[in-house]
Amino acid sequence: MTKQNNNDPYVRFINVKKSYDQKNLVVKDFNLDIRKGEFVTLLGPSGSGKTTCLMMLAGFEDVTSGRIMIDGSSVVEVAPYHRNIGMVFQHYALFPHMTIGENLAYPLKVRKIPAKEIARRVMETLDLVELGAFEKRYPGQLSGGQQQRVALARALIFEPRIVLMDEPLGALDKNLREQMQFEIKRLHESIGFTAIYVTHDQTEALTMSDRIAVFDDGVVQQCATPEVLYERPANAFVADFIGENNHIEGTVRSIAGDLARVELSDGTLIEALNINCPDIGEPCRISIRPENLFIDQPAPARINSVSAEFVLNLYIGDSIHYYFKLGSGTEIMVKVLNDHESPKITAGDETHLSWSADRGLALDRPV
Amino acid sequence: MKGFPKYYTFWQRLGLHGLRLTAWLALAFLMIPILVIIPLSFNVEPYFTFTDGMLALDPGAYSTKWYAQIIEDDKWILAIKNSFYIGILATIIATILGTTAAVGLSNPVMPLQRFIMAILLSPMIVPLIITAAGMYFFYSQLDMTGSYLGVIIAHAALGTPFVIITVNAALAGFDLSLVRASMGLGARPLYTFIKVVMPLIRPGVISGALFAFITSFDEVVLILFLAGPEQRTIPRQMFSGLREQINPTILAVATLLIISSSLMLFTIEYLRSRGERIRTGQL
């Protein structure tokens, strides 16, 4: 997934801090290096500071302290109109009084490119986003998805150094969103621009990005590839924010290298990967993905097992979600593919849930 | 007139008919004093009343001589010229000042927005006679009474609040991310203002300018205080016409004013609805 050929950072955030009121920091000590051509997503709940970081890079917000470098030089003192960064906004921000063609021509006209060249590039770019027939229309006559494709085309047409996208698909419905994700990914693959994408939708982040920086409370909790984020989250916040997770509370009994031994409230001892497990004797949280749990299948490889009471199942279609209750009252969800192996059980049945030691993560307990 | 919903009772129907009647009466109350002037301006007799001949629709009882008299009278020609000269220059000043003020006040970083807004709108609220008296004493110090410049500045001050209000309203629906988008695409602030902000608030600017022009065009109090005989405008001329020689020339001028004002009003409405259609994509 990562591109090894060019490892020099192209965009660098160095100790960036941002405060609007000189009291509270919205962004606390943000550090991130982005390589040329990389697709990096800033993911986090609203108010976590991710959009502010994007706005600081674009030049619409001042940096309170720290530095932002592009291609080796600081851009903090550079005006937004000199930064040469393309931007796609959540609500498209197309100029409503200009036709689609005029919207696309705008950044080229500003750069005093000859009219002939402008006309050629406008048509070329419109074809790229498959809107060749819409040059003479006004933005108000286009659907949301079409408008966002125009916005994307406008952000690409002047061949900017970087393309920023601030929740560009937030205003679209689910089907259109998936189409546009594909579209953006296709354009990124074919043109190879450096992209920084902001979203609060983790599925979107997982499917599109080379790397994802997970934000919470103005701090990057983890920055890694989608696989690492999903399978080896750095802490309880990331584990919880990315995908679904089951939590079982326990107490640390021993730590041996990678493995932590944890005692659950009913006395069961289980083994889990030590991620950021607290000291022996401290409370901790075991985090297990719903697809890594097995129902009533004693197998030697999966050494962890707890007894649980079946509550109900939800029929999703491609999968079935089974809900269980542990003796301690903790609710556990197990995701099973909807094939002939999906178990048939009735409510109230006692059964066993098992998982292998490397699928359970021993994490700190968030306060 | 669509029928009433079937569940309406007799009294509801009666009430609604009453409401319609009242609305029409209110409209008539507003319009009749204006409309009645138009036929009277064609009176062949030098009176402000309908003659028997007029009521009988006798063609001989009508004439356009009062219109001819406007053209023949140097005083009226000067007044018309003055009205347009002062009105147009005052409108240009008011539009520039009002638009820049409204744009500046709409910026979220602007401190004391409400306070400054209140001060800028005060010429609209303070009784005109007070403004006029104040300006008179102020201008006397500067020796500016009886000058075109003085009258134009005074009228610009009266017109500015109208421009501020209409441009401010136009900016209320303005998406600030358009400015960011423009700058991100490489446009400097001035270019952004001319190419993006201005076209979108233009309906507001134009209606503000028309209001400012009309304000100057039918303003008489400030003129009475500040203008000399050289700066007589149409309303000032009508005012003295009413006192000195009562004849329907005034009505002929009034008719012309009614027609030109209506034209302006239709222009405002046309531009406004056109801007609306572009923005909602129905054009």
Measured distance CA(B197)–CA(B64) in Å, rounded: 48
Any idea which residue has 């306070």 for tokens?
A: B115
Position A6 scores a pLDDT of 58
Position A1 scores a pLDDT of 40
Chain B residues 19-58 with a CB less than 8 Å from chain A: none
Any idea which residue has 């001060």 for tokens?
A: B119
Measured distance CA(A245)–CA(A287) in Å, rounded: 6
| Residues of chain A contacting residue B280, judged by C-beta atoms under 8 Å apart | 140
Note whether A87 contacts B200, CB cutoff 8 Å: no
> Among A100, A159, A150, A101, which residue's Cα sits nearest to residue A130?
A150
The 10 Å Cβ neighbour count of residue A111 is 13
Q: What is the mean pLDDT of chain B?
A: 88
> Among A367, A364, A366, A352, which residue's Cα sits nearest to residue A260?
A364
- Amino acid identity, position B215: T
For the stretch B259-266, contacts whose Cβ atoms lie closer than 8 Å and that sit 24 or more positions apart, written own/partner, are B261/B214, B264/B210, B264/B213, B264/B214, B265/B210
Summarised one tens digit per residue, pLDDT across range A238-271 is: 888 888 889 898 888 888 888 888 888 888 888 8
Note whether B200 contacts A85, CB cutoff 8 Å: no
> Which of A93, A107, A141 faces B186 most closely, judged by CB atoms?
A107
Measured distance CA(A339)–CA(A174) in Å, rounded: 26
Summarised one tens digit per residue, pLDDT across range B24-59 is: 999 999 999 889 888 888 888 887 788 888 888 888
Give the helix/strand (H/E) hosting B147.
Answer: none
Distance from CA of A7 to the nearest CA of B (A): 27
Q: Is B281 an 8 Å CB contact of chain A?
A: yes
What percent helix, strand, coil does chain A show, rounded to 5?
A: 25, 35, 40
Phi, psi at A260, each rounded to 5°: -120, 140
* A/B interface, count of CB pairs below 8 Å: 76
Mean pLDDT of A224-237: 90
Q: In which band, very low, low, confident or very high, does the pLDDT at A300 lie, cut at 50, 70 and 90?
A: low
Q: In which band, very low, low, confident or very high, does the pLDDT at A298 lie, cut at 50, 70 and 90?
A: low
Position B164 scores a pLDDT of 95
Distance from CA of A76 to the nearest CA of B (A): 15
Q: Say if residue B1's pLDDT is above 70.
A: no
The model's pTM: 0.79
Percent of chain A with pLDDT over 90: 37
Interface test mutation site (partner B, options A78, A83, A87, A137, max chain B beta carbons within 10 A)? A87
Question: Side-chain half-sphere of A302: how many Cα atoms within 13 Å?
Answer: 18
A102: nearest CA in chain B?
Answer: B195
**What's the CA angle centered on A97, arms B187 and A180, to 5 degrees?**
80
Cβ-based neighbours of B21, under 8 Å, separated by 6 or more? none
Summarised one tens digit per residue, pLDDT across range A162-173 is: 999 999 888 788
B191: nearest CA in chain A?
Answer: A110
Percent of chain B with pLDDT over 70: 96
Note whether A97 contacts B199, CB cutoff 8 Å: yes
Strand order of the β-sheet with A331-337 is A294-295, A350-355, A304-315, A319-326, A331-337
Q: In which band, very low, low, confident or very high, does the pLDDT at A2 lie, cut at 50, 70 and 90?
A: very low
Chain A residues in contact with chain B using a Cβ-Cβ cutoff of 8 Å = 58-60, 79-87, 89, 91, 93-97, 106-107, 110-111, 138-142, 154, 158
Interface test mutation site (partner A, options B185, B201, B274, B276, max chain A beta carbons within 10 A)? B185
